[in-house]
Structure 1
Amino acid sequence: MSIGNFNLFDLLINAIDILLVTFVIYKLIMVIKGTKAVQLLKGIFVVLIVTLISDKFHLQTLNWMMEQVLIWGVVAFVIIFQPELRRALEQLGRGGFFSRSGHQEEDEQEKMVEAIVKATDYMAKRRIGALISVERETGLADYIETGIPLNANISSELLINIFIPNTPLHDGAVILQKNSVAAAACYLPLSESPFISKELGTRHRAALGISEVTDSLTVIVSEETGSISLTKNGELHRDLKLDKFRELIGAELLSGVKAKQTSSGRWNWRGKANG
């Protein structure tokens, strides 16, 4: 049986080929999701669009520049995306590249929120200083590399144990990545804002600093007062009660209908005493 110049077998092979390529591209996108590679990909698309426009309107100098960028872009791509390519190969070797993803995300997020809230409540009552940063769209790989890698499942017990005073990992930040404890004792950039209250210590400045350069969500427990604070997008909200803290962090991290219902207007904190 044939249709034009193609028989049914050829059409089936072509359809399978297209589906496989689509699936591989989708899995690659899932690998780089949540890293700085997303922003870099946006830059590549901009270069491609500029190249097409310069070619159409015969902008020769600009077109030549864009062609050079694309020619050398292959080498730059390998260098820039080296961490993501390595992670993709590692997942392929572990057999995790083709595993299902996303279906359990909400349950995992709920468990993570519960672990953070429980650990924060325990440490706040006992005035155990803590700094926990949750990776979101912008990758935190650069800061994870400054700490001690753990790659452990998130639990309130683990978070509490890390921050117990005089233990090897208590000094520094814990970074949570993809529903796991990626690393502890990490160094975060300190905010240089002149508007930060002088009564705030290094933990609060570090939490503000990471929130100014990434979209991460960072929890601070004060060692002096036991107060709970939260930072996002360069904003600091201090002295949160546990119920308010649970509500805010849940609205930011939980997916689905619950997050959509509670997230509206939760971060309009400019009117309250910041920093």
Structure 2
Amino acid sequence: MPLKITTETDLIRLLSNSPLQVEMSFMKIKSHTSKNTPVEHMQAFYTDFEEMRDEKYDGMIVTGAPVEQFDFEEVSYWDEVTEIFDWARTHVTSTLYICWAAQAGLYHHYGIPKYPLEKKMFGIFEHRALEPLHAIFRGFDDCFYVPHSRHTELRREDILKNPELTLLSESKEAGVYMVMARGGREFFVTGHSEYSPLTLDSEYQRDLERGLEIELPRNYYLDDDPEKGPVVRWRAHANLLFSNWLNYFVYQETPFNINDIQ
């Protein structure tokens, strides 16, 4: 997550919207120093993986990173992050991988490749659940909306070829959205359901200021006019997604003695 404080706030807001009491810890890796987050913040709130590796956790969220246009092995912290992916399988009840992390997790664990897009997938897109009775979709409408902001994609045919993976949701425009593995111990989500109302606007304005080629985020601004602000249509889905994950795949699945996770 390039803007850690913003992402923390977005995720905490969603995780807090539950009757379950949630206590959070933030993990960092030694082989990477954040460029956009004050050192004081990292020192105050984050703990190195090495200091956490002997603990076990109900759930874990692995966020995205602005490295998706690199090959996975070219990422400077690839070895350390894949060590964490492997560790999570025996130390965490359920892991939720978001955006680049979803692509990285699927590649590392299941050999699923990513593909470059001709132009950035950027905006709010309609999705459907392929297994609408699945617990992760409890309370969902027949169609729901998700923000996307990425330069690469996964392809459904690669997911469907692997019997260990279940394609749970996709979009006609945005493609693969949610994949499940290990009976819900791993979820891979390619979009950014956690985004606040103004996140896409901030990304759009940032890229304009940098002189980058960027199209208007699709289906986002009222009348496609940035001056009129966004039409927010994904927050209900986001709250259900995180509360369902916490309830059905974290809280109800974690053994009474957390050390029994394996």
Structure-1-length-normalised TM-score? 0.21
The structure whose Rg is larger is 1
Structure-2-length-normalised TM-score? 0.22
Determine which structure has the larger strand proportion and give its number: 2
Structure with more contact order per residue of length (Cα contacts < 8 Å, sep ≥ 6): 2
